[in-house]
């Protein structure tokens, strides 16, 4: 049971979670570790996510709306520059409260007062128990049970700041006695994903039984160009892996990354089948493709997080050190390799990953 939670409630049936962030795939998918922790603690409860963003309608919503751990997913434009926008957001809050009827509300955001105020209002409307992070002194007044600030959490757990992104959501779960204990992010492919993977096998024709090597070079958005690994490095790495293991190469990417994929293919000397899917998949289909890969190689991007969440052996190549974006699990290797001199170490990492036997996701 929750500390201080009313003894009149014998079982928690509904949990509403508030998250306010950019709408990147990784930004949302990283929260799935906290969802799993809540499911483990309250197995009878249905989880509902209310996502507040300045980018409503982002492609990531399609993926998260179908996430197996969520009973519902709600998205609101968090920009409230005038009275009309504020009234609109409060009306949407009332609607979310009526649809989810939570017994517990968790505000995952450590900064600002928008989600704090919304959590307070939602708690009054529903009489739910509320928890959130007392990052600023006044924030603790908005929650029935405030969590200590991020710095205290880090110190208690022997961690340095800034916290790794997945770990950040566990700050808010402190009052519920929920610890991460290595819980990874997770995702299950949908029927759409499985159907598209079958389509990919059909496109490969006579090579439809060949193991797949997935490659994602780009980083989805134009402002992330600096994250892209050296093309020569990627070409050398994939050529050698294809030569050693007879992989069919499947190239993935967003529509705006067709040019970078074209440049890669111009440098790549294939020794086996190649299928360019850049710009040809939605995120549900992309997850199906990645789930079918024996190994997935990616830049620091959304597909990297999808691959990790699917527990596909994943080699993430970073242009510069960025520890807060690393995943640390046996099926993941995060390497910094700014130029072609790092290909030997990357090959060694890839070979280790190919020894990993995928384990099933928990129920």
pLDDT in tens, 144-176: 999 999 999 999 999 999 999 999 999 999 999
- pLDDT class for 342, splitting at 50, 70, 90? confident
- List pLDDT tens digits, range 267-320: 999 999 999 999 999 999 999 999 999 999 999 999 999 999 999 999 999 999
CB-CB contact of 261 with 281 (8 Å): no
- pLDDT class for 129, splitting at 50, 70, 90? very high
- pLDDT class for 22, splitting at 50, 70, 90? confident
Whole-number pLDDT of residue 8: 35
Burial of 64 (0-12, 13-18, 19+ CB in 10 A): buried
Percent residues over pLDDT 90 in the chain: 84
CB atoms inside a 10 Å sphere around CB 221: 15
Cα–Cα distance measured from residue 273 to residue 286, given in angstroms and rounded to the nearest whole number = 19
Closest Cα partner for 311 from 292, 298, 324, 326?
292
Mean pLDDT of 325-348: 90
Question: Helix, strand or coil for residue 76?
Answer: strand
What DSSP string runs through 286-297?
HHHHHHTEEEEE
CA dihedral 186, 189, 190, 193 (to 10 degrees): 150
Question: Helix, strand or coil for residue 164?
Answer: coil
End-to-end CA distance of the chain: 21
Helix (H) and strand (E) counts in the chain: 13, 12
Question: Helix, strand or coil for residue 152?
Answer: helix
Whole-number pLDDT of residue 2: 58
According to the CATH classification, is domain 191-353 in 3.40.50.2000?
Answer: yes
Rounded to 5 degrees, what angle do the CA atoms 301, 303, 308 make?
A: 105
Domain with CATH 3.40.50.2000 in the chain: 14-176, 191-353
Mean pLDDT of 8-22: 81
- pLDDT class for 325, splitting at 50, 70, 90? very high
Whole-number pLDDT of residue 360: 67
Assess whether pLDDT exceeds 60 at residue 6: no
Closest Cα partner for 298 from 242, 240, 250, 355?
250
CB atoms inside a 10 Å sphere around CB 261: 22
**Distances, alpha carbon 347 to alpha carbons 206, 219, 254, 320, 325, in Å:** 28, 22, 26, 19, 22
Whole-number pLDDT of residue 4: 53
Domain spanning 14-176: CATH superfamily? Glycogen Phosphorylase B; (3.40.50.2000)
CB-CB contact of 15 with 42 (8 Å): yes
Assess whether pLDDT exceeds 90 at residue 237: yes
Residue with tokens 């990297």, as numbered in its chain: 304
Residues in the chain: 363
Whole-number pLDDT of residue 21: 77
CB atoms inside a 10 Å sphere around CB 209: 8
- pLDDT class for 95, splitting at 50, 70, 90? very high
**Eight-class DSSP state of 361:** P
**Sheet with 332-336: strands ordered across:** 274-276, 248-252, 212-216, 293-298, 314-318, 332-336
Q: Which two tokens stand for residue 137?
A: 């002194």
Q: Which two tokens stand for residue 259?
A: 């040019």
């Amino acid at each position: 049971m929750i500390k201080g939670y009313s003894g009149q409630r014998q079982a928690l049936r509904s949990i509403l979670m508030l998250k306010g962030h950019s709408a990147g795939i990784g930004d949302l998918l990283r929260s799935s570790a906290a969802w799993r922790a809540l499911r483990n603690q309250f197995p009878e409860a249905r989880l509902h996510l209310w996502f507040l963003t300045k980018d409503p309608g982002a492609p990531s919503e399609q993926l998260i709306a179908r996430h197996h751990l969520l009973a519902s997913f709600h998205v609101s434009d968090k920009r409230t520059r005038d009275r009309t926008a504020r009234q609109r957001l409060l009306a949407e809050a009332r609607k979310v409260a009526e649809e989810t009827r939570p017994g517990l509300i968790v505000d995952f955001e450590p900064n600002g007062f928008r989600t704090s105020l919304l959590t307070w209002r939602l708690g009054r409307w529903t009489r739910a128990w509320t928890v959130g992070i007392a990052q600023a002194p006044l924030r603790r007044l908005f929650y029935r049970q405030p969590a200590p600030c991020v710095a205290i959490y880090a110190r208690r757990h022997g961690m340095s700041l800034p916290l790794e992104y997945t770990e950040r959501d566990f700050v808010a779960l402190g009052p519920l006695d929920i610890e991460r204990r290595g819980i990874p992010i997770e995702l299950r492919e949908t029927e759409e994903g499985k159907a598209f993977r079958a389509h990919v096998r059909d496109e490969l024709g006579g090579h439809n039984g060949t193991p797949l090597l997935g490659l994602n070079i780009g980083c989805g958005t134009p402002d992330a160009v600096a994250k892209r690994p050296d093309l020569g490095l990627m070409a050398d790495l994939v050529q050698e892996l294809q030569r050693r293991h007879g992989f069919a190469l499947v190239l993935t990417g967003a529509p705006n990354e067709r040019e970078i994929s074209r440049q890669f293919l111009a440098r790549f000397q294939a020794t086996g089948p190649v299928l360019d899917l850049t710009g040809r998949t939605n995120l549900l289909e992309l997850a199906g493709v990645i789930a079918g890969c024996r190994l997935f190689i990616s830049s620091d991007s959304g597909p990297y997080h999808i691959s990790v969440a699917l527990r596909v052996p994943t080699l993430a190549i970073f242009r510069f050190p960025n520890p807060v974006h690393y995943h640390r699990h046996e099926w993941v290797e995060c390497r910094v390799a700014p130029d072609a001199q790092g290909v030997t170490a990357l090959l060694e990492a890839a070979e280790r990953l190919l020894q990993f036997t995928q384990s099933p996701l928990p129920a």
